[in-house]
Amino acid sequence: MPPNAPALTPEQCEAFGAEMDALRQRIVSDLGAEDAEYIRQVVRVQRALEVTGRGLLFAGFLPPVWLGGVAALSLSKILDNMEIGHNVLHGQYDWLRDEALNSQTFEMDIVAPAELWKRSHNFGHHTYTNIVGKDRDIGYWILRLTPEQRWSPYYLGNPVYAALLSVIFQWGVMLHDLEAERVLSGEKGWDEVSSDAKKMAAKSLRQVGKDYVLFPALTGPLAPLTFAGNASANLIRNLWGFSIIFCGHFPDDVVTFTEEEAANESRGQWYVRQLLGSANITGSKLFHLLSGNLSHQIEHHLFPDIPARRYSQIAEEVRDTCRRYGLPYNTGPLHRQLGSVARKLVRLALPGGGPGGKHTETPATKNQAA
């Protein structure tokens, strides 16, 4: 464990892990009709929003109608990506044996192919969470998000790069899967690069064709307005997804690890790393739904394959367990977590980077201690 992580004995780590295993098993044993009805209802709402949004854009010459169409389509894309796509691709609903909700066949409404997304996210990110040099989500190869990343003058643009990435986030996620650093090091051969690039081209052409050719053409003389509406919905989804995801791992007090610190870790230590490497966001039920329940990033990283609707049900129990073991539980409202990420991006644009990545008590952990 890093020196800035809470000190637990090996026995305490294993006891914590055993409690998490028992909690997971209890939820898995309870999965059933309510979980199935929930995700199918979310899919019905998402489809209704998409039909409504695209339908309203047929009357987009009226500004209020155009705005309504953009709002409905944005919500549709957010639900598709966050509560449905992300969670289905984690295999959270494979037990339903429903092809429409199966991780092997589902495709999200983004340009990144599901096959490549699962490789980098489900395996790369969730296996090596917050291990510098192994978790490729730390900085997405273009940002400096921990002092352990060596500084260079390039990082003076850290906040600018992050702002640009938020605007084109779905494209950034797709290109991230090319694994440019492995290509440059020679670890990834050109045959593999070519195979991945073909899959990306096929998926992105399908997405671009749908949003920027087919549906604009269907609205005839309103095509420019429909084009703008679809682009606006994609932009809103990009900004929302970037904000939720960056608040899940990059606020201050989230701990990063070296490869040596994570080597030969036990199951209990794996749970502790997932906990220390994640952060939650507080909010309403609607907020949690629109975040894909990634507002419960801690519970998601502890149990990535159980339906996300369950995270809010177990959050207090996880938090209480952390309290008993003296482990921090990083949570706070969106504005505070996002502000913390923004300050870190600015701080780490400069050499050193100050206390980023060091565990210091937040008001949330202070409350727990009390």
DSSP H or E run through 365: helix 363-369
pLDDT, one tens digit per residue, over 125-175 is 999 999 999 999 999 989 999 998 999 999 999 999 999 999 999 999 999
* pLDDT attached to residue 360: 37
Indicate if the pLDDT at residue 365 is higher than 70: no
Terminal CA-CA length for the chain: 25
* pLDDT attached to residue 356: 45
Rounded to an integer, the average pLDDT of 215-244 is 98
117 vs 357, residue with greater confidence:
117
pLDDT, one tens digit per residue, over 76-112 is 999 999 999 999 999 999 999 999 999 999 999 999 9
Q: What is the pTM of this model?
A: 0.92
Write b or e for each residue in 297-335: b if 16 or more Cβ atoms lie within 10 A of its Cβ, otherwise e.
bbbbbbbbbbbbbbbeebbeebbebbeeeebbbbbbebe
Confidence of residue 7 (pLDDT cuts 50, 70, 90): confident
- What whole-number distance in Å separates Cα of residue 124 and Cα of residue 221? 46
- What whole-number distance in Å separates Cα of residue 80 and Cα of residue 122? 18
Residue 125: strand, helix, or coil: helix
Confidence of residue 6 (pLDDT cuts 50, 70, 90): confident
Q: Are 130 and 277 in contact (CB under 8 A)?
A: yes
pLDDT, one tens digit per residue, over 255-272 is 999 999 999 999 999 999
* pLDDT attached to residue 156: 97
Indicate if the pLDDT at residue 362 is higher than 80: no
* pLDDT attached to residue 4: 65
Rounded to an integer, the average pLDDT of 46-67 is 98
The Cα-based distances of 144 to 104, 123, 126, 233 in angstroms read: 33, 22, 20, 29
Indicate if the pLDDT at residue 30 is higher than 60: yes
Indicate if the pLDDT at residue 364 is higher than 70: no
DSSP H or E run through 274: helix 267-276
Percentage of residues in the chain with pLDDT exceeding 70?
Answer: 94
* pLDDT attached to residue 1: 66
